[in-house]
Amino acid sequence: MGAVLKKYIWVGGLVCVVIISYFLAKITTLIIEGYFPNVAITSSSEKSSETTQLQQGTKVDVDLIISRNIFNAQETTTSSENATTETTGEDIQVSSDQAVETKLPIKLIATVSVGDGKNSFSSCVIESNKAMDTYLVGDKKTFAPNTRIISILPKRVEFMNSDQLEYVKLEEFAKAVDLTKQPTKDPSNMITKVTQSEDDPGTGDDAIVRQGNTFQISRAEIDGALTNVNKLFTDIRAVPFFEGGVAKGFKILSVKNGSLFEKLGIRRGDVLKSVNGRTLDIQSGFETFGTLKNESEFELEINRRDEDVTYKYEVI
């Protein structure tokens, strides 16, 4: 029995040490609380202006504490105010209703709006200083000094211009039609034009001859259209087309009547995938068309109603 007690006596010693340590800790806590009472602080922004109270129920003179700056309260308040000001300046929340139409000399050519338009995947094509480029939400690259894109919506882009929220609308190419006016053309011609197949519309131009998916186009037609590339791009409205999260070309939303694009057989709803085997993406945009000026032959790959179509062109 004595051997067993001797073997496990260290356990009893350990228990005694724990108990003694616990009581010593409690005593130390009581002593420290006597010198440093807990204080409940009410900031100046709160409604209550009553005197701050100790948790034990005793009252203290707040003016005395502030004047002696025991808790360094004045410096903390100033720092807090500065921090609040900085945060507010960085994360300004502005309603779209406050946006005004911009007077900057820019044009919105195309948009890709993801979610609410504030997603970093949203992008747009803007023409500025006779040059077009692609911009993203929060992009460091800007189209004008002191501007920052806030959101890219389907038909407009909102951005901060210094401290003012402004927007630019998507370029519209179709003119309004007054249905109350009498037709100025022969009705039979109008019916023929409406019932004509969009898949084989014909060119309506002597400068372009079409046989199936093969076109013959005059050099003068190409040179005339490509003389002003920026104006050429205003004849078409398109947005980048994504498939499986990867850009696969541009979806055509509208084509201006009589434009080169219409004469080349491009129609609303088509997905323009490549030019001469070069895939059209957000970065290159339609700039690839500018390389056709010196080509004697070129091809356009188009997806129409989920079917790939290749148009071949011979410049004569």
Are 149 and 133 in contact, with CB atoms under 8 Å apart? no
Residues 14 and 46 in one domain: yes
Shared domain check, 119 and 46: no
Residue in the block written with tokens 């882009």: 157
Q: Cα–Cα distance between 157 and 134 in angstroms, integer?
A: 12
Kindly state the DSSP code that residue 200 receives in the 8-state scheme.
Answer: S
Are 66 and 162 within one domain?
no
Residue 180 domain-assigned? no
Written as one letter, the residue type at 69 is N
CB of 272 within 8 A of CB of 252? Answer: yes
State the Cα torsion 217-311-236-129 to the nearest 10°. Answer: -70
Q: Which residues contact 97 (CB under 8 A, 6 or more apart)?
A: none
Q: Do both 205 and 303 map to the same domain?
A: yes
Nearest to 54 by CA among 67, 38, 42: 38
Question: Across-strand partners of 125?
Answer: 110, 134
CATH of the domain at 130: 2.30.30.830
Q: What number of residues does the chain have?
A: 316
Q: Judging by beta carbons within 10 Å of its beta carbon (0-12, 13-18, 19+), is residue 282 exposed, middle or buried?
A: middle
Among 49, 78, 107, the domain boundary falls at 78
Give all strands of the β-sheet with 147-152 in edge-to-edge order. 100-101, 164-169, 156-161, 147-152
Q: Which two tokens stand for residue 61?
A: 């003179």
Do 58 and 102 lie in one domain? The reply is: no
Note down pLDDT in tens along the chain; length 316 residues.
566 666 667 777 777 877 888 777 777 766 665 544 443 333 333 444 444 444 444 444 545 445 555 444 444 444 434 433 333 333 445 566 688 999 999 998 888 887 788 887 788 889 888 888 888 888 888 899 999 999 999 889 999 999 999 999 987 643 333 334 444 444 434 333 333 344 544 445 566 888 889 999 888 888 887 777 667 777 888 888 877 777 788 888 888 888 888 888 999 999 988 888 888 776 666 667 767 777 889 899 999 988 999 999 998 8
140 DSSP 8-state letter: S
Same domain, 152 and 255: no
Residue 118 located in a structural domain: yes
Domain with residue 311: its CATH number is 2.30.42.10
The answer to whether residues 41 and 132 belong to one domain is no
The amino acid occupying position 311 is Y
Total structural domains within the chain: 3
Any idea of the CA torsion for 198, 204, 207, 209, to the nearest 10 degrees? 50
Is 92 inside a domain boundary?
A: no
CA 99 to chain centroid, in Å, comes to 16
Please check whether residue 174 lies inside any domain of the structure.
no
Q: Is 302 inside any structural domain?
A: yes
In a domain, 236, yes or no: yes
Domain assignment present for 244: yes
Which tokens go with 106?
Answer: 């820019």
Pick the last residue of a domain from 23, 45, 78.
78
What's the half-sphere exposure (Cβ side, CA atoms, 13 Å) at 291? 13
- Is the domain of 108 the same as that of 13? no
Q: How far apart are CA 109 and CA 124, in angstroms?
A: 8
Stated pTM of the model: 0.40
Three-state secondary-structure class, residue 131: strand
DSSP result, 254-316: EE-TTSHHHHTT--TT-EEEEETTEE--TTTTTGGGGGGGG-SEEEEEEEETTEEEEEEEEE-
What is the signed CA dihedral for 55, 56, 57, 61, rounded to 10 degrees? -70
Answer yes or no: do 22 and 63 share one domain.
yes
Return the pLDDT at 150. 93
Same domain? 16 vs 74: yes
Reading phi first (left if > 0) and then psi (alpha if -120 to 50, else beta), residue 7 is in alpha
Boundaries of domain holding 14: 2-78
Does residue 102 share a domain with residue 74? no
Q: Are 34 and 27 contacting, i.e. CB atoms less than 8 angstroms apart? A: no
Residues 289 and 230 in one domain: yes
Give domain status of residue 197, yes or no: yes
Q: Residue 131 and residue 54: Cα distance in Å, rounded?
A: 68
